[in-house]
Structure 1
């Protein structure tokens, strides 16, 4: 059994400072090709991705939905099983305190997108009734359904696919079997040793890295436009490319420094600061905002979420408009699938010493509830102001201008300009925590172990910032095109996740037997543990 103190697998990667050269070649090649083709013909790239995006959403949308639903249900089954008492990483106690651990989970998994959409999405579903409900848009009766639909997109299913079953598989494979912390390891139960060496494994890893690059560059680029817009509206600062570039450089400096210092320093400190700031903002909104409305809205919205859970989770193009499914449920679910393997690597790394039950409940239950509360505080406040005609975001949200929605709601909250500035800072740091954790996770994939070189972490952080800057120079539309591309990358990545549906429970029970929590089956008694 590998040592608890020494990460298994690094010796295989010492010949190459950056890890698997083919993964690097394919991943960097994608970045260069996307930028080059965009420079050559922006319209061609955007139209091609848009066509692929539409086809994927229409053809595979139901498959993506079922994958997330099954992952959540099976993960909860594992969490209540006897095997859930096994500990991750062969440690008898956690490496990180509970608060630090939960902070890193909350600030990493859905941070960038969740904060960006928290104000606008509930209001959008309030002014445009989701297909799962038949309430009249813009009325008090529409509040519960609007919040419930937002909870569906950012709730149990989204979180579960990011760090439950796949994290269990990776934790057992890496910390017990000595296999590398790479996405290809998730396919070992199906393909065996042939996926661990050679071209197939490298292509698998590269697909997952490309999906995360596409999914992370989007929030980084959108943040630059959002903060630029916010500074312009609040202080009259110019919102041209120069301002966006300055914001991008500042953001990159923060998350690259954080990624280089590692999980126990920069990433942890940044996450903790952001949680404290989020709690302070939440307290101000709850105490000085429309308190009774928010309490009632959360209660009714979460109740409707649970009541309509399966109807929303299995909504298809036959029961909902194709455009709605494409731009909402399928888009989000595919985005989470694209992130999932590298997020699972990060969860497995920070959860050493935690029980499987703690890991699943934190990721798949506690974090979604916290996310729903945050969406209620921001989005619910926006709905209240929209309902009372203090603001009107109907036109902006019909044009998907979520940066306008966030700032408008923030200015309407108690504190006005101060609150708007605080939320801009919060959003920026949330995106930074996504940037540092994904820079770290990509470096882990390249290295194959959980202590990758700080230079490799910095390289990937800078590469994503540079890509965002180049695409912003071409126009925000190219950032949007790249964001749509993650739906296409979800196709191969979803196949990487599929074996976890059965390998996750198997790994949990194997860990429980190895740790003496469950008796060793007779057929395994003669085999080495």
Structure 2
């Protein structure tokens, strides 16, 4: 039985956030979603064990096809989502409050911490050092400057801003979050990806097996996208501990790291949004602020200030050129492994991220939610990339580090550690950055375990054992793939690009349903006629 929220604002405020869990579906989740999702995990692992080469080739072909034929569609979708979302935020409908609450459930700092930590996650920390330096030593196709020179610094950071900036954040939690919030809190519809299609297909999509398949596709995308960072974190931490403290860099160390990480994010997910997830996010933000302050005060301060302003200007002036780059004007391999890869990754994450954003934003205005997700968070991300990546470029320019060869081979773990060691504090700073990366990945693990459980249950208070189950399933999958070789994690990471194709069509109705839901909320609250 799906949890139904009451229609009136008064009733909505009186509903207990912990519904009684009496039915089988409430205890274990939708059996179709569970079967398809777990079937995917078993099939992927089984195929990897049976014939790794064939699996890699199959996913590689799908990865290439998706990048070639769907890349432009992904780019247009992100552009449309961002500008439509900004339009909604600036309209009178932006004043409407989400969830029929007068006051937010979660304080502003805690709310912003959860948004930043969950959506930026380990990927942003993992790529913050390596990506800007890569674009510095290999000039992006949108620019015509000599690589490795002072003129290449601003374009390198601007390209990184494009991949992790306004477009990426907007698709993760703006229009889709509005559609889900209105349908769930105002109309009593389930908090599931299938609800994004409700404006098109009506009640049928909510009760049929097709809706369960839609949800399962989104769960598979999030599993592929989350297991990747979990596995990469284990390899990065293992490598870092080996370099810094001489520990063995092998599967045993990776497994221990994985078990510790899984314990942290599973416990966090089990305790829920108002406890573990909030605490972990706040700690992460404080640690990031401390690391950022040390870099800014004791690092190449003047260089970072100048570079940030130049890069932000380059990002703004070259925004559309970078956002609309295609294989006609850029090498196929570059589009596949950079712009299309990242945009597809964010699309794959979008439905479940939107569920999480809608859940934690109850009581906020639509304007607040869109501003936080699509404007403030991207700006904070550009600052973070400048502090870490800009410092790395400075060290590369001055000869403190030499990462050109490592980055041309996409060895981002080497880049992150080398830059961290060159920062003020040396080994201690490197250890702090590794800890920060770990907690960032943990915040992704706990929020996605919670969100997958929400999808299965259909309401926003899934049983804590369901949350633990999904967190454990992703950790076990990462462990098995690591045992088979680090390359298997990379293959799984490519798979999220393939899943982005069906997920993109699930997101598509939000381009018009999002504004429609926003104005419907505003009318119910007598903000517009």
CA contact (8 A) 1:9 1:448 kept: no
Show the counterpart of 2:179: 169
Equivalent of residue 15 in structure 2, options 6, 18, 23: 6
CA distance in 1, matches of 2:505, 2:420: 40
Count of residue correspondences: 519
CA contact (8 A) 1:8 1:449 kept: no
CA distance in 2, matches of 1:110, 1:294: 21
CA distance in 2, matches of 1:269, 1:76: 30
CA distance in 2, matches of 1:318, 1:127: 22
Show the counterpart of 1:107: 117
CA distance in 1, matches of 2:298, 2:399: 19
Matched, 1:277 2:287: yes
SS in 2 for 1:277: helix
Deviations 1:324-356 (A, max 9, x none): 000000000000000000000000000000000
CA contact (8 A) 1:8 1:174 kept: no
CA contact (8 A) 2:191 2:454 kept: yes
CA distance in 2, matches of 1:106, 1:189: 29
CA distance in 2, matches of 1:281, 1:8: 36
Matched, 1:145 2:144: no
Moved over 4 A (4+): 7-13
CA distance in 1, matches of 2:144, 2:340: 21
Give the deviation of 1:4 after TM superposition: 2.4
Equivalent of residue 88 in structure 1, options 73, 95, 98: 98
Equivalent of residue 243 in structure 2, options 205, 220, 233: 233
Show the counterpart of 1:54: 64
Deviations 1:250-275 (A, max 9, x none): 00000000000000000000000000
Give the deviation of 1:5 after TM superposition: 3.8
Show the counterpart of 1:495: 505
Show the counterpart of 2:343: 333
Give the deviation of 1:110 after TM superposition: 2.0
CA contact (8 A) 1:168 1:507 kept: yes
Show the counterpart of 1:391: 401
Give the deviation of 1:112 after TM superposition: 1.6
Give the deviation of 1:370 after TM superposition: 0.2
Show the counterpart of 1:72: 82
SS in 2 for 1:284: helix
SS in 1 for 2:13: coil
CA distance in 1, matches of 2:163, 2:483: 31
Give the deviation of 1:54 after TM superposition: 0.6
Give the deviation of 1:14 after TM superposition: 2.2
Cα-Cα RMSD: 1.1
Matched, 1:408 2:418: yes
Show the counterpart of 1:248: 258
SS in 1 for 2:420: helix
Show the counterpart of 2:3: none
Deviations 1:432-473 (A, max 9, x none): 000000000000000111101000000000000000000000
Q: Which runs of 5+ in 2 are unaligned?
A: 1-6
CA contact (8 A) 2:21 2:463 kept: no
Matched, 1:358 2:368: yes
Matched, 1:433 2:443: yes
SS in 1 for 2:28: coil
CA distance in 1, matches of 2:312, 2:489: 33
TM-score under structure 1 normalisation?
0.97
- The structure-2 alpha-carbon separation of the partners of 1:333 and 1:460, relative to structure 1 and needing over 3 Å to count, comes to same
Matched, 1:465 2:475: yes
Show the counterpart of 1:181: 191
Higher alpha-carbon deviation: 354-363 or 14-23: 14-23
Aligned ranges 1:304-343 → 2 under 5 Å: 304-343=314-353
CA distance in 1, matches of 2:499, 2:16: 30
- The structure-2 alpha-carbon separation of the partners of 1:69 and 1:9, relative to structure 1 and needing over 3 Å to count, comes to farther
CA distance in 1, matches of 2:188, 2:293: 45
Aligned ranges 1:255-270 → 2 under 5 Å: 255-270=265-280
Show the counterpart of 1:524: none
CA contact (8 A) 2:284 2:439 kept: yes
Show the counterpart of 1:381: 391
CA contact (8 A) 1:122 1:147 kept: yes
TM-score under structure 2 normalisation?
0.97
CA contact (8 A) 1:10 1:448 kept: no
Give the deviation of 1:486 after TM superposition: 0.2
- The structure-2 alpha-carbon separation of the partners of 1:320 and 1:189, relative to structure 1 and needing over 3 Å to count, comes to same
